[in-house]
Amino acid sequence: MRKSILSFVLTIAALSSLANNEPERSLQASKVVQAPKLDGVLDEAIWQTAPVAENFVVNSPNYGEASAYRTKVYVVYDNNSIYIGAYLYDDPSKVRTQLTARDKESQQDVDYFSVFFDTYNDDQNGFQFLVTSRNVQSDGRLSPNRSSQFGPPSDYSWDAVWESKVTMHEDGWVVEMKIPYFSLRFAKKEKQDWGLNFQRYVRRSNESSYWNNINPNQNGFVNQFGKLSGLENLEPPLRLSFLPYVTAGFRTTPTSKGRVNEFLRNGGMDVKYGVNESFTLDMTLIPDFGQVISDNVINNLSPFEVQFQENRPFFTEGTEIFNKAGLFYSRRVGATPSGYYNARSLGSTDSTRVVSNPGVVQLLNATKFSGRTKQKLGIGVFNAIGAAMFAEIENTNTKQTERIQTEPFTNYNLIVLDQALKGRSSITLTNANVTRNGAGRDANVTGIDLYLFDKTNQYGFQGKFDYSKIMGPNPYSGFKSVASLGKVSGKIQFNLLSNVESDRYDPNDLGFLGVANKVHTTVNISYNQLTPTDKFNSYNFRLTVRHEMLYKPFVFTNIQYNANAFWFFKNFWDVSLGATYQPLWQKSYFELRTPGRYMRQTPWGFLRLNGSTDSRKRLFARLTLGMAESVDIKNDPYIVIHPGMRYRFSDRLSLDIDWSYTDDRGQFGYAFQRETNGEPIIGRRRKTDVTTLVSGIYNFTSRMNVTLRARHYWSRVKYASFYNVSEDGWYIDRAFIPGQNQNFNVWNMDVFYTWDFNYGSRFIVGWKNWLANDFPVDGNRYKNYWGNAGRILMSPQGNEFTARMIFFIDSQKLRRKRNQS
């Protein structure tokens, strides 16, 4: 019997690990003397004689079938650029043509065509250039360690300068693309062989097809490309461009002591210099990051820092090599000064006021140097310098001002060496260093990351070791280690991961870690049906077990079980179910904010339902429902209701409304109070969070739009009882503490008009509106969401109006114009 079971398991594993045995396709590029005219018409002789790529294979929904839509693609090149010509045969009346913003074609009602290059031919890193049927561009960097299950693993935050043209014809539509070499990186070789692939997406049938087959059961994306050969003697021109900018505006902020009005004016420049074919130097001088969307601020009662999304272009574009080791959280650079809130407190007394207190560290400059050698060694160097920041506090009685330093002069530095090995394997060395002027805290973190895959790309191993050292008045050091082994391809996949973070591990000067002093082991197994069946396009099931311990002292803290199931139906609706169960009383060593002390948290179970409708329709709806309940504490529910919908009014206008409600009716946690002897006090509270997010876009043209994003977040905390905590973590009744309830509101509205008036050049007008900090809404009077939302409209609000002009200047074009004159 055992032998039969073992034989069955081995057979299933063997079948599930079958690699993609499709032969790799290749295409010969043709070099031309005269560049084709970018007019969306493939009538020139060079297109007629160039080799053709066709016979695309469906990736989804019907994997492995020949595409229902004929596509022909040609590639030619000269000494300046590479050119793509694609004829996408179709009934033009059926082609979806919604206008979208750049990099926002996903989930929109539009057809598109993409070309992918693996210029280093390392099966790991690459570039994507995408054009929609309305000639809207998207571009992204491809990295090796992101899942490609639901499409290319592209980082669309990267923006390059390139040209495209789209025209409609009686039997389809045509895309022409001109991609200059200054927008690519490649090793210096006499003969180049690049990885190459093309993708066509037909929105009305949701068919995504590729020239070289992309198997959804095979781990990785770039490693499944075909080949582009015939690139010889590439001599790219001088890659030097400038992006000077000027910003002007006005900000008015209401405070309890009157409005603070500021005229905003700034100017600076970004410089991009191609050191050679492989390496690029990016610099920004006196950067201004004012025109970015507002953060999703929440009422954070946990002991862990909230991680915010990076929205500043310089820190999102071309940073994939810096992010590989997980030691670079770019929001540390140019963050709020460490002494900002102390200065604000000093200026809030009866006899003082804040004259100035900058909320963001002014960066003097930032530099990125990155690229790869022909030996596939990636090198990345990041450096930024933050100015010393000061606040001015005025004594309203004497009219004298005091200047207080809120942040010292700081240097941020990151060095990455990333060696691509055979197949998809790699080894990476990363060093992050932060040096502050004076006797302040300095920090250094060094990490080594190893990724290994077998020849068939079925099994993978990850090894990681980081060492952190904090220098200054109170020096200390720590480490983190990760080991992971699993099956990464096929229908059946599994993984075993062990993570150890010592109690003094601290990467947070330039990285992000919520809390250290943890040891956890995770086991997960999944079944993935990624090819269609009679009833489903795809489905998968996953089971995860997570065992948690403290590093010091080495004690058990928690165990948790998770089960998830996902179904993607033939009508392109989807449903997922999830369940989480924590069977034991958890020992929470972090909630009390007291070293060595812990509180117990009750066992609980959680059920979740997610679903969404067909995103091709004008009305697209989604819904999440969740319910949790404690095992040993009664009347302790946790409720989640999260509906949302997007409506497309026309090919130009769409609006999205997202609303979420979470209600934790029996939350136990630190009450931000201590006894006179320093003992922490916890409370049982009801925490209700409601968020309304409205976002919309109107596209005038493929290069001009207006976007709106408005968010109101309300959080109400009501305490029911308070407790002391015994040495073994149990609750001890104590007297009620009045006046601890919270009523917290956040309101932000961001409106941006963007006009890309030339390739790489942009004009932006922005309006930002927010609820002033000094005027909280009275929670005793306004006790529900709608009362708080209505009061927001009557409360003093801050406003900021800005206009920015950015010019892209290519030194080669300037030289050609000078020679012509």
Give the pLDDT mean for 428-451.
94
Band of residue 730 on the pLDDT scale cut at 50, 70, 90: very high
- Whether 207 and 112 have beta carbons less than 8 Å apart is answered as no
Give the pLDDT mean for 34-41.
92
Give the pLDDT mean for 744-766.
94
- Which of 706, 806, 704, 805 is CA-nearest to residue 755? 704
What own/partner pairs with CB < 8 Å and gap ≥ 24 does 660-665 have? 660/689, 660/690, 660/691, 661/688, 661/689, 661/690, 662/638, 662/687, 662/688, 662/689, 662/690, 663/637, 663/638, 663/639, 663/687, 663/688, 663/689, 664/638, 664/688, 665/635, 665/636, 665/637, 665/638, 665/639
| CA 612/CA 458 separation, integer angstroms | 32
| CA 105/CA 98 separation, integer angstroms | 9
- Which of 522, 528, 591, 515 is CA-nearest to residue 564? 528
pLDDT at 760: 84
Residue 61: cis peptide before it, omega within 30 degrees of 0: yes
> pLDDT per residue over 263-296, tens digit each?
988 888 888 888 877 788 889 887 777 778 889 9
Which residues, listed in sequence order, are joined to residue 116 by a DSSP beta bridge? Answer: 128, 197
Give the pLDDT mean for 311-331.
84
| CA 821/CA 814 separation, integer angstroms | 11
pLDDT mean across residues, the chain = 90
- Whether 546 and 562 have beta carbons less than 8 Å apart is answered as yes
Q: Are strands 30-31 and 71-77 parallel, antiparallel or unpaired?
A: parallel
Domain chopping of the chain, boundaries: 22-232, 305-514
User: Is residue 17's pLDDT more than 50?
Assistant: no
pLDDT at 236: 67
| CA 20/CA 13 separation, integer angstroms | 15
Share of the chain above pLDDT 90, in %: 67
- Which of 490, 494, 469 is CA-nearest to residue 479? 469
User: Is residue 513's pLDDT more than 60?
Assistant: yes
| CA 581/CA 602 separation, integer angstroms | 11
pLDDT at 819: 59
User: Is residue 776's pLDDT more than 80?
Assistant: yes
Band of residue 530 on the pLDDT scale cut at 50, 70, 90: confident
pLDDT at 2: 40
Q: Thinking of the domain 22-232, which architecture would CATH place it in?
A: Sandwich (2.60)
DSSP annotation string for 376-437: -EEEEEEEEEEPPEEEEEEETTT--EEEEEEE--EEEEEEEEEEE-STT-EEEEEEEEEEES
pLDDT at 355: 85
> pLDDT per residue over 446-457, tens digit each?
999 999 999 999
Task: Give pTM, 2 decimals.
Answer: 0.89
Give the pLDDT mean for 57-78.
94
> pLDDT per residue over 637-657, tens digit each?
999 999 999 999 999 999 999
User: Is residue 576's pLDDT more than 80?
Assistant: yes
- Whether 79 and 237 have beta carbons less than 8 Å apart is answered as yes
| CA 108/CA 616 separation, integer angstroms | 7
Structure tokens at 756: 């890309």
> pLDDT per residue over 582-598, tens digit each?
999 999 999 999 999 99
SS3 161: coil
Band of residue 624 on the pLDDT scale cut at 50, 70, 90: very high
